[in-house]
Structure 1
Protein backbone atom coordinates (compact mmCIF):
# COMPACT_ATOMS: atom_id res chain seq x y z
CA UNK A 1 0.00 0.00 0.00
CA UNK A 2 1.30 3.47 -0.85
CA UNK A 3 2.49 5.56 2.08
CA UNK A 4 1.03 8.81 0.72
CA UNK A 5 3.84 10.86 2.21
CA UNK A 6 2.80 14.24 3.65
CA UNK A 7 5.35 16.59 2.08
CA UNK A 8 7.54 17.43 -0.89
CA UNK A 9 10.97 15.95 -0.34
CA UNK A 10 12.60 19.02 -1.95
CA UNK A 11 10.81 22.08 -0.56
CA UNK A 12 8.86 20.55 2.37
CA UNK A 13 5.52 21.82 1.03
CA UNK A 14 2.56 20.08 2.65
CA UNK A 15 0.98 17.50 0.35
CA UNK A 16 -2.12 16.06 2.01
CA UNK A 17 -3.65 13.04 0.24
CA UNK A 18 -6.11 15.09 -1.84
CA UNK A 19 -3.43 17.50 -3.15
CA UNK A 20 -1.72 16.62 -6.46
CA UNK A 21 1.80 15.23 -6.03
CA UNK A 22 4.26 13.20 -8.06
CA UNK A 23 6.05 10.02 -7.01
CA UNK A 24 8.70 7.64 -8.34
CA UNK A 25 8.57 3.85 -8.08
CA UNK A 26 10.11 4.09 -4.57
CA UNK A 27 7.42 6.56 -3.45
CA UNK A 28 9.75 9.54 -3.22
CA UNK A 29 7.21 12.38 -3.24
CA UNK A 30 7.43 15.83 -4.80
CA UNK A 31 5.14 18.80 -5.39
CA UNK A 32 4.26 19.65 -9.01
CA UNK A 33 6.42 22.81 -8.93
CA UNK A 34 9.62 21.00 -7.89
CA UNK A 35 8.90 18.05 -10.21
CA UNK A 36 8.43 20.26 -13.26
CA UNK A 37 11.13 22.76 -12.31
CA UNK A 38 14.38 21.79 -10.67
CA UNK A 39 13.80 18.03 -11.08
CA UNK A 40 12.76 18.00 -14.76
CA UNK A 41 10.39 15.07 -14.01
CA UNK A 42 13.22 12.83 -12.69
CA UNK A 43 13.65 11.54 -9.13
CA UNK A 44 16.89 12.90 -7.65
CA UNK A 45 17.27 9.72 -5.58
CA UNK A 46 16.87 6.92 -8.13
CA UNK A 47 16.79 8.73 -11.48
CA UNK A 48 13.38 7.26 -12.31
CA UNK A 49 10.50 9.17 -13.85
CA UNK A 50 7.87 10.92 -11.76
CA UNK A 51 4.18 10.12 -12.20
CA UNK A 52 1.02 11.49 -10.59
CA UNK A 53 0.43 10.07 -7.13
CA UNK A 54 -2.84 8.09 -7.01
CA UNK A 55 -5.70 9.50 -4.99
CA UNK A 56 -6.96 7.42 -2.07
CA UNK A 57 -10.70 8.03 -1.64
CA UNK A 58 -11.60 9.72 1.67
CA UNK A 59 -13.58 6.74 2.93
CA UNK A 60 -10.46 4.55 2.56
CA UNK A 61 -8.23 7.06 4.37
CA UNK A 62 -10.15 6.28 7.55
CA UNK A 63 -9.01 2.67 7.48
CA UNK A 64 -5.66 3.24 5.75
CA UNK A 65 -4.45 6.75 6.67
CA UNK A 66 -1.67 8.58 4.90
CA UNK A 67 1.80 8.54 6.42
CA UNK A 68 2.74 11.24 8.93
CA UNK A 69 6.50 10.65 8.50
CA UNK A 70 8.09 13.59 6.68
CA UNK A 71 11.01 12.95 4.33
CA UNK A 72 13.22 15.90 3.38
CA UNK A 73 16.48 16.08 1.47
CA UNK A 74 18.96 18.18 3.45
CA UNK A 75 19.60 21.33 1.44
CA UNK A 76 16.75 20.64 -0.99
CA UNK A 77 17.09 19.04 -4.41
CA UNK A 78 19.90 19.71 -6.86
CA UNK A 79 19.02 20.69 -10.41
CA UNK A 80 18.54 17.70 -12.70
Structure 2
Protein backbone atom coordinates (compact mmCIF):
# COMPACT_ATOMS: atom_id res chain seq x y z
CA UNK A 1 0.00 0.00 0.00
CA UNK A 2 1.28 3.48 -0.84
CA UNK A 3 2.55 5.65 2.01
CA UNK A 4 0.94 8.83 0.61
CA UNK A 5 3.78 10.98 1.92
CA UNK A 6 2.69 14.44 3.07
CA UNK A 7 5.17 16.72 1.29
CA UNK A 8 7.39 17.40 -1.70
CA UNK A 9 10.94 16.19 -1.06
CA UNK A 10 12.27 19.19 -2.97
CA UNK A 11 10.33 22.31 -1.89
CA UNK A 12 8.56 20.83 1.17
CA UNK A 13 5.11 22.02 0.03
CA UNK A 14 2.20 20.11 1.55
CA UNK A 15 0.75 17.30 -0.54
CA UNK A 16 -2.38 16.07 1.23
CA UNK A 17 -3.75 12.63 0.29
CA UNK A 18 -6.27 14.17 -2.13
CA UNK A 19 -3.73 16.36 -3.93
CA UNK A 20 -3.67 15.95 -7.71
CA UNK A 21 -0.24 17.69 -7.65
CA UNK A 22 1.57 14.75 -5.96
CA UNK A 23 3.91 12.80 -8.23
CA UNK A 24 5.73 9.56 -7.33
CA UNK A 25 8.38 7.29 -8.80
CA UNK A 26 8.43 3.50 -8.43
CA UNK A 27 10.09 3.86 -5.00
CA UNK A 28 7.40 6.32 -3.82
CA UNK A 29 9.78 9.27 -3.80
CA UNK A 30 7.25 12.09 -3.64
CA UNK A 31 7.49 15.48 -5.33
CA UNK A 32 5.03 18.16 -6.40
CA UNK A 33 4.18 18.48 -10.09
CA UNK A 34 5.87 21.89 -10.24
CA UNK A 35 9.24 20.58 -8.99
CA UNK A 36 9.00 17.50 -11.23
CA UNK A 37 8.53 19.75 -14.25
CA UNK A 38 10.64 22.83 -13.53
CA UNK A 39 13.46 21.51 -11.33
CA UNK A 40 13.81 17.78 -11.98
CA UNK A 41 12.95 17.54 -15.68
CA UNK A 42 10.70 14.54 -15.03
CA UNK A 43 13.51 12.38 -13.60
CA UNK A 44 13.67 11.29 -9.96
CA UNK A 45 16.87 12.62 -8.33
CA UNK A 46 16.98 9.62 -5.99
CA UNK A 47 16.64 6.69 -8.37
CA UNK A 48 16.70 8.12 -11.90
CA UNK A 49 13.20 6.82 -12.66
CA UNK A 50 10.26 8.69 -14.10
CA UNK A 51 7.17 10.00 -12.34
CA UNK A 52 3.45 9.33 -12.45
CA UNK A 53 0.59 11.11 -10.72
CA UNK A 54 0.05 9.63 -7.27
CA UNK A 55 -3.31 7.86 -6.97
CA UNK A 56 -5.86 9.43 -4.65
CA UNK A 57 -7.03 7.11 -1.88
CA UNK A 58 -10.81 7.30 -1.45
CA UNK A 59 -11.72 9.41 1.59
CA UNK A 60 -13.74 6.55 3.06
CA UNK A 61 -10.57 4.43 3.26
CA UNK A 62 -8.29 7.07 4.79
CA UNK A 63 -9.58 6.36 8.31
CA UNK A 64 -8.66 2.67 8.02
CA UNK A 65 -5.52 3.24 5.93
CA UNK A 66 -4.20 6.71 6.87
CA UNK A 67 -1.61 8.63 4.91
CA UNK A 68 1.92 8.88 6.27
CA UNK A 69 2.80 11.83 8.49
CA UNK A 70 6.57 11.40 8.09
CA UNK A 71 8.00 14.29 6.08
CA UNK A 72 10.97 13.54 3.82
CA UNK A 73 13.12 16.42 2.57
CA UNK A 74 16.34 16.22 0.57
CA UNK A 75 18.82 17.91 2.93
CA UNK A 76 21.25 18.54 0.07
CA UNK A 77 18.53 20.15 -2.02
CA UNK A 78 17.26 18.76 -5.24
CA UNK A 79 18.27 19.08 -8.82
CA UNK A 80 18.46 16.93 -11.90
CA UNK A 81 19.01 13.26 -11.19
CA UNK A 82 22.45 11.81 -10.81
CA UNK A 83 23.13 8.36 -12.18
CA UNK A 84 21.26 5.76 -10.16
What residue in structure 2 maps to residue 53 of structure 1? 54
Report the TM-score when normalising by structure 2: 0.91
1:79 is displaced (CA, Å) by 3.4
What is residue 15 of structure 1 aligned with on the other side? 15
How many equivalent pairs are there?
Answer: 80
RMSD: 0.9
Q: Mark the runs of 5 or more structure 2 residues left unpaired by the alignment.
A: none
Query: Is 2:75 the partner of 1:74?
Result: yes
User: Which stretches of structure 1, 4 residues or more, deviate above 6 A after TM superposition?
Assistant: none
Q: In 2, Cα distance between the equivalents of 1:62 and 1:25?
A: 25
SS at match of 1:68: coil
CA displacement, residues 21-48 of structure 1 (integer Å, 9 cap, x when unaligned): 1000000000010011111111000000
Quote the Cα distance in structure 1 between the aligned partners of 2:63 and 2:53.
22
Scaled by the length of structure 1, what TM-score is found? 0.95
